Chains A and B, each alone.
Chain A
């Protein structure tokens, strides 16, 4: 009996090396495990964030260390029509694109929530615009928006005969702005739809059955069951969407680079133009920092605005 149990015990009783014991010491292990992640984030995220705010108060340029100039950069921005232009377009871009993405994405999610053949294949296909590098699909849009050989113009002029001239998508301010918004909506629909679909699938069918028994119409079921139940997930997805639409860079940089006549600059592309391409690091950083209040406001608005209604719903139900 003892002979059979002894051999397995022997290795455990052997005195482990000090390294092994050190790695079994919980506080040390916790520090070791957290160091890579926290270290990376501290050096390449927290420190640059602080540095960016500091740079915004200096007149640093590429190759020259700046000195503290207080609010000079911001005062300059307030008098700069291009900055106001970028603020205006960033807000318009975020507003319309977010609305479009969520309206169409929610619709697509509701459609996908039905039963039909090849559903998983379709779901996989629909995510493609989100998977493919944005710049590369933006190039495809650039080609689609070409002034001479646009396929949309071809359809409208030569096939449908609705127009007699090609549309100059990117040559004039407003058409260019809306073309970019359309591309952004196109890219954002899949993410919204798939996220909301996941939310839709968590709603218990018994709620709908109960409502149907009570004689609720399809619209009433959507308005009083689907929509309130989706509020928490809508709040999260919308917060993300607003943050990343407001700070969008790739689409605009790839398709118009802020043109024509600086009319389609977003704050991010303006910051790049001034900060990296123009070398005025301090001013670029100030433009980037000027995005923060908008982001905080949008986040609070979308998160608490939508989440609170859900709590009210919950309170009244309890």
Chain B
């Protein structure tokens, strides 16, 4: 029998009322597509200060649509911060651990902003719009913090920092058929846009739409940045759904976005990365360009941490061996019953049909060459799991026009 009041377990009644955040606590933001989500019967949740659709007709179906066909997400909650001016590259190089000097116009780069301790302010996507113009896409829940941080970091450099988040409706069309659907609605030669590149072109009759071959699903796809008025958002949303009908397109919510990124082992801020987790622990050293010629914020700490012998704990992938689902915050134990770590994200994986999780474990459990057994405390019971290489899911082969 499960005992009372275990971690994360809730009475049905409470679970059904939402995530327990009182409605009066903060004014929730709504995207331009809010009325459409409601009319489609979406279940709404609070996420990062926003009221967002978590699912329309079932997380598993939406997840599968993206893996095998195509899905459409409203990701307008993401923040968009622009740096403009003669020293905007210097500013980006200061707060971004990756090397933005390698970017060409029209190219995007995954990176992170670090604290002076080498931990995460946020993970970001840097887009080079022109020689003196960069767009930084940041997480919804950290938008204000990130804006203030970028402002402060950019202060010594000539240029402007602007929060343009409210000017864009951001849509993500994802899945192996995303290219086929979007191609019907644009004259841009999508096949020529490589992974992590973007272009501007006409989409649904709108001029100058930024179309980026990016996403957060582990699948091919595009992200579109369109004007944030309701009428335009609604029109593009409906045209994409209509164009995708022949491929079985589904509108997809944050639930599927989370299970998709988890299968692809992409980190989520506040879970795998945070201000208490450093780059080495998160296994994101490949994005930290310590030799880029700019002493970026956090670089000194990263060097020191490396020279001190590397991290004591590391992010690992887990697969449940016995029956049970590891959830965020569940505790991990070794064979001797000693506590060794905690799950940062855990869920059933609808495409893989396994129960998977990401977790931090002491370095001795994280050798990717072998699988180590650990036990997850699930509502009072110890359930066996094993470490497994990441990502859990990798898409079969790149679509045409894609590079890895």
The answer to whether A and B assemble together is no
By a beta-carbon cutoff of 8 Å, the part of chain A in contact with chain B is none
